[in-house]
Amino acid sequence: MSNTSPEVVIHIEGLTKRYGKVVALDHLNLDVYRGEIFGYLGPNGAGKTTTIRTLLDLIRPTAGYATIFGLDTQKDSVMVHAQLGNLPGELSMWGHMTGWEVVRYLGGLRGGVDEKYVEELAERLDFDLTNKVKRLSSGNKRKLGIIQSMMHKPPLLILDEPTNGLDPLVQQTFHKLMREVRDEGRTVFLSSHNLPEVEAICDRVGILREGRLQAVESIANLKQVRFRWMGLRLANGERADPEAFKVLPGVSDVTTENGSIRFRVTGEVDPVIKMAAQYHVVDLAYEEPSLEEIFLTYYGESK
């Protein structure tokens, strides 16, 4: 009997990082699997970059540990680094070098680089490898960072805010590249506060708040488990009583306009259906929330 359990690529257990009294990461537990794009979501300061720097052994945790491909990220950091590509949030490269010189230098550290694949990546990202780094815009530096992280086709990509500074067309190209990586059975761990991006390409998402993991869900489940929007359009002249809907369990954010009523529902919709049956309903709209609305809900913020 074959084992169909997904292969764990990144395993994080009890990971904690304190700076004096400031807790940057608080007992983080997380598994990321082979062949998925995992979105690590949260605003600046939530602890995303701290997590990545700990995985890369650039900083050491106060408590807990992590493994990548079963290798300890501290004891086996050299072997770990050989199997991943990384794009840091704050990218710093040699200003006097051209893009090609950066690529060949970094490729040389790995024993060589497939220049045809580098050219393919540069063409798809609309990047000129002959320009010096010091003359590049922030967006073009980001493109070079993406190229250097992908050029050796690593089994794991760890990317910190990868599309910062990229124009929408290049973002779409990047999304396609990430889907291709996933389809090849490789893994992407991608931190972001770009909600539409995460919604567009990620298979699962973890929501981080003040160093604590609030939720880990598939995109589909995350959009369903919390709430949904419902709207009723009534027959001409008929108006729904908003107060009658407001008192229903799980109903909030009730608004009315021109014979229509719209509200947010958490939990079962049966009470809403029974209330709606008292009216002549011409149309019923049932909307899944956007990832941004769910994100705000997890953070306990108002709309």
CATH, range 226-298: 3.30.70
- Residue 1: the pLDDT is 42
Q: What is the mean pLDDT of residues 4-32?
A: 92
d(C-alpha 254, C-alpha 231), whole Å: 10
Q: How confident is the model at residue 109 (pLDDT cuts 50, 70, 90)?
A: confident
Q: What is the mean pLDDT of residues 91-103?
A: 90
- Residue 291: the pLDDT is 67
- Cα angle for residues 184, 187, 188 (degrees, 5° grid): 120
Q: What is the mean pLDDT of residues 72-96?
A: 91
Residues 112-157 have pLDDT tens digits of 889 999 999 999 999 999 999 999 999 999 999 999 999 999 999 9
Percent of the chain with pLDDT over 70: 94
Q: How confident is the model at residue 303 (pLDDT cuts 50, 70, 90)?
A: very low
Same topology for domains 8-223 and 226-298, yes or no? no
Does domain 8-223 fall into CATH 3.40.630.10? no
- Residue 34: the pLDDT is 97
Give, for 190, the enclosing helix (H) or strand (E): strand 187-192
146 phi-psi bin (left φ>0, alpha ψ -120 to 50, beta other): alpha
**Burial track 261-274 (b if 16+ CB lie within 10 A, e otherwise):** bbbbbeeebebbee
- Residue 4: the pLDDT is 60
- The lowest-confidence range among 64-68, 188-192, 265-269, 281-285 is 265-269
* pTM score: 0.80
Query: Is pLDDT at 104 greater than 80 in this prediction?
Result: yes
Residues 160-213 have pLDDT tens digits of 999 988 899 999 999 999 999 999 999 999 998 777 788 889 999 998 888 999
Q: How confident is the model at residue 2 (pLDDT cuts 50, 70, 90)?
A: very low
d(C-alpha 278, C-alpha 296), whole Å: 33
Residues 49-72 have pLDDT tens digits of 999 999 999 999 999 999 999 999
Amino acid at the residue 302: S
DSSP state of 235: P
- Residue 68: the pLDDT is 97
Query: Is pLDDT at 3 greater than 60 in this prediction?
Result: no
Percent of the chain with pLDDT over 90: 65
All structural domains of the chain with their residue ranges: 8-223, 226-298
